Amino acid sequence: MPSSPPPAGPPPAGPPPAGPPLAGPPDGRRIPRFAGPDTFGRLPTLDAVGRAAVAIVGIPFDSGVSYRPGARFGPQAIRAGSKLLRPYHPALAVQPWAVQQVADAGDIPANPFSITEAIETIAQGAAELLGRAGHLIALGGDHTVALPLLRATAGRHGPVALVHFDAHLDTWDTYFDAPYTHGTPFRRAVEEGVLDLDCSVHVGTRGPLYAPDDLLADHDLGFATITTIDIAERGVADAIARVRARVGERPAYVSIDIDVLDPAHAPGTGTPEPGGLTSRELMAILRGLDGIRLVGADVVEVAPAYDHAELTALAAANLVYDLAGLLGLQSLRRAGG
């Protein structure tokens, strides 16, 4: 790594916010990145800064999985994978930590022996955090956690357009008669009225299903779908255009199940499906969503026990960085009027 400062990139889009200087991570050229705090991106804690534009919060819960367990260790793995992040995001031309206060809110502890109690705890914890933070980026945890996060987000913004990156639909009804699992959160979200269905979309679906009816049932719920094969045949730009057209001006929640990536890019997950997106494709689609009205996000299903060389944790950490960059650009646009 060079020890001299990098050449200046393009300036961020707009002026930095007025007011006292924001608290960011220690300079990685002065304090080695492997030596800093254990927060995401070595950012300050939410308790240290009081309020934040964006809070990154861990949700170490994986009692809703149907196959391999282990995503309860996702938040600490993603935080460990975030140490290498640097302050400037050249693809988005923004410094995510400098244009808005971003902080690590720690973890929301949830009962691993009661899914229904855990969902209540997470929804309450997220709602409380939204009293101190403008937006949440949650680190899962299995995909069950998206339901309480959507409840809290809809409590603030009303029904949201869901942009759901996942190999799976996650709109099944029950497993073993259990209604709350990592394969059912978006069916429950539809029933609870927290989604704007005319504007919601799955991206990156693939892999075997139980029956043809699975796709029909999902379609009947009101979701649009952009499959991995669609993206392979029509390209990233087409996927971006379709998501943007679908979401429009609605408040949008982005939920990223890391298994949307090919297992070559994200082996550390509970229900891997071959034939998935590359990290580069997913990042390109995500960055192409700049300008949608992003109100919240999660990155879930990172299970580090199956990971190799931090491939999955690094990908997840960089996706969180992309999301923080999108929120940073949004805050600059808002400040600029």
| Residue numbers at the binding site for Mn ion (CB under 5 A) | 143, 166-168, 170, 257, 259
The residue (of 185 and 328) whose beta carbon lies closer to Mn ion is 185
Smallest separation (angstroms) from Mn ion to the CB of 266? 10
The residue (of 143 and 151) whose beta carbon lies closer to Mn ion is 143
Question: How many angstroms from the chain centroid is the CA of residue 10?
Answer: 26
Smallest separation (angstroms) from Mn ion to the CB of 258? 8
The residue (of 170 and 290) whose beta carbon lies closer to Mn ion is 170
The residue (of 143 and 246) whose beta carbon lies closer to Mn ion is 143
The residue (of 99 and 167) whose beta carbon lies closer to Mn ion is 167
Smallest separation (angstroms) from Mn ion to the CB of 287? 22
Smallest separation (angstroms) from Mn ion to the CB of 298? 10
Smallest separation (angstroms) from Mn ion to the CB of 303? 11
The residue (of 92 and 320) whose beta carbon lies closer to Mn ion is 320
Smallest separation (angstroms) from Mn ion to the CB of 71? 10
